[in-house]
């Protein structure tokens, strides 16, 4: 009888934990998102392919912690990714409003989006927009 009584609270705790974990489950609803989540390099991705990746030897990076702003650009300033977030996500599954401005020769993405934080690992965050199949990987150090 005492073993049964001890198992009930433990079982209840496991069920509650599983239910709360399910709320932050990340749905892989496209091949593009699956490919994006496998990537590791900071930058912007569209339709499953990299558009602009940070290269420490060739690019400049600027962070503004007060405005939650992340920016990378080429030394020539012909290609630039500027991201401003309403907040820095703490867990995968959070959604945040984000202003994205990406400009490069032949490519322009400029919009206000509601992005899902799809992954957090090694102080980086993966932000995804299912509507336009665009993802951004940022290093959140300094933000």
For residue 24, the model assigns a pLDDT of 65
Q: Taking CA 40 as the corner, what is the angle to CA 137 and CA 113, rounded to the nearest 5 degrees?
A: 20
Cα 97 to chain center, whole Å? 12
For residue 87, the model assigns a pLDDT of 95
**What pTM value is reported for the model?**
0.81
Mean pLDDT in consecutive groups of 10 residues from the start of the chain, 143 residues: 47 39 72 96 95 95 94 94 96 95 90 92 95 94 84
């Amino acid at each position: 009888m005492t073993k049964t009584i001890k198992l009930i609270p433990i079982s209840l705790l496991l069920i509650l934990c599983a239910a709360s974990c399910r709320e932050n489950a990340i749905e892989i609803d496209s091949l593009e998102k699956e490919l994006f989540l496998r990537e590791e390099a900071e930058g912007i991705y569209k339709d499953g392919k990299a558009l602009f990746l940070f290269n420490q030897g060739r690019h400049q990076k600027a962070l503004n912690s007060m405005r939650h702003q992340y920016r990378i650009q080429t030394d020539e300033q012909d290609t630039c990714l500027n991201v401003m977030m309403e907040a820095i996500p703490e867990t995968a599954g959070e959604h945040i409003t984000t202003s994205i401005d990406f400009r490069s020769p032949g490519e322009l993405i400029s919009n206000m989006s509601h992005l899902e934080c799809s992954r957090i690992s090694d102080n980086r965050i993966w932000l995804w927009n299912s509507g336009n199949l665009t993802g951004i990987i940022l290093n959140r150090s300094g933000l």
